[in-house]
Amino acid sequence: MLSSRKELDDRLRGAARAWLDEALAEAAHAAAHPGADSGSPPWELRFASAGRHCGLEHADSVRALLLVEARAGLPAVTRLYEQGTAAERRAVLLTLHRLDLGATALPLVEDALRTNDTRLVAAAVGPYGAAHLDAHGWRHAVLKCLFTGVPAEALDRLGERARGDAELARMLSDFAAERTAAGRPVPAGLRTVLDLTAPAPTPTPTEEPR
Amino acid sequence: MRIFDPHIHMTSRTTDDYRAMYDAGVRALVEPSFWLGQPRTSPASFFDYFDALLGWEPFRASQYGIAHHCTLALNPKEANDPRCTPVLDALPRYLVKDSVVAVGEIGYDSMTPAEDTALAAQLQLAADHALPALVHTPHRDKLAGLHRTIDVIRESDLSPELVLLDHLNETTVTDALDSGCWAGFSIYPDTKMDEDRMITVLRNHGTDRILVNSAADWGKSDPLKTRKVADTMLKAGFDEDDVDKVLWRNPVAFYGQSGRLQLDTAAPGPLHEGNSILRGGE
pLDDT digits (tens, 9 = 90+) for A72-128: 999 999 999 999 999 999 999 999 999 999 999 999 999 999 999 999 999 999 999
In a domain, B279, yes or no: no
Q: Residue B109 in contact with residue B141, Cβ under 8 Å?
A: no
Phi, psi of B136 (to 5 degrees): -75, 135
What's the rounded mean pLDDT across residues A126-143? 97
Q: Would you say the pTM of this structure is higher than 0.95? A: no
Cβ neighbours of B59 in A, within 8 Å: 86, 117-119
Segment B255-258 long-range contacts (CB within 8 Å, at least 24 positions apart): B255/B6, B255/B30, B255/B69, B255/B101, B255/B102, B255/B132, B257/B132, B257/B161, B257/B162, B258/B100, B258/B101, B258/B102, B258/B130, B258/B131, B258/B132
DSSP secondary structure letter of residue B183: E
For residue A154, is it left (φ>0), alpha (ψ between -120 and 50) or beta? alpha
Instruction: Tell me if B55 and A45 make a contact (CB, 8 A cut-off).
Output: no
Cα nearest neighbour of B277 on chain A = A116
Do the chains contact at B272 and A187, CB–CB below 8 Å? yes
Classify the phi-psi angles of B185: left when phi > 0, otherwise alpha if psi is within -120 to 50, otherwise beta.
Answer: beta
Q: Residue B265 domain-assigned? A: no
Which chain A residues have a beta carbon less than 8 Å from that of B282? Answer: 140, 143-144, 147
Nearest Cβ partner of A149 from B97, B99, B271?
B271
Number of domains in chain B: 1
- Per-residue pLDDT at A116: 93
ipTM: 0.84
State mean pLDDT over A13-32: 95
In the predicted structure, residue A188 carries a pLDDT above the cut 60? yes
Residue-level pLDDT at A208: 54
Residue B47 lies in a domain: yes
- Asked if pLDDT for residue A33 goes beyond 90, the answer is no
Task: Report the run of H or E that residue B211 belongs to, with start and end.
Answer: strand B210-213
Domain ranges of chain A: 1-105, 134-199
The pLDDT value given to residue A37: 52
Domain membership flag for residue B269: no
Answer yes or no: is B145 within a domain. Answer: yes
Q: Which residues of B touch A86 (CB under 8 A)?
A: 54-56, 58-59
CA distances from A135 to A111, A131, B153, B188 (A): 17, 11, 58, 53
Cα B183 to Cα B193: distance, rounded to the nearest angstrom: 13
CATH number at residue B173: 3.20.20.140
Percent of chain A with pLDDT over 90: 88
Residue A200: predicted pLDDT: 78
- For residues B29-47, b (16+ Cβ closer than 10 Å) or e, as one string? bbbbbbbbeeebeebebbb
Phi, psi of A139 (to 5 degrees): -60, -40
Closest CA in chain B for residue A152: B270
Q: Supply the pLDDT for residue A144.
A: 95
- CA A185 to chain centroid, in Å, comes to 28
pLDDT (tens, 9 = 90+) of chain B, 282 residues, equals 999 999 999 999 999 999 999 999 999 999 999 999 999 999 999 999 999 999 999 999 999 999 999 999 999 999 999 999 999 999 999 999 999 999 999 999 999 999 999 999 999 999 999 999 999 999 888 899 999 999 999 999 999 999 999 999 999 999 999 999 999 999 998 877 899 999 999 999 999 999 999 999 999 999 999 999 999 999 999 999 999 999 999 999 999 999 999 997 544 444 433 445 544 333
CA–CA min distance A105, chain B (Å): 20
Would you state the pLDDT for residue B278? 45
Range of the domain at B13: 3-258
Residue B144 lies in a domain: yes
Interchain pair A40, B271: CB under 8 A: no
Strands B26-32 and B133-136: unpaired
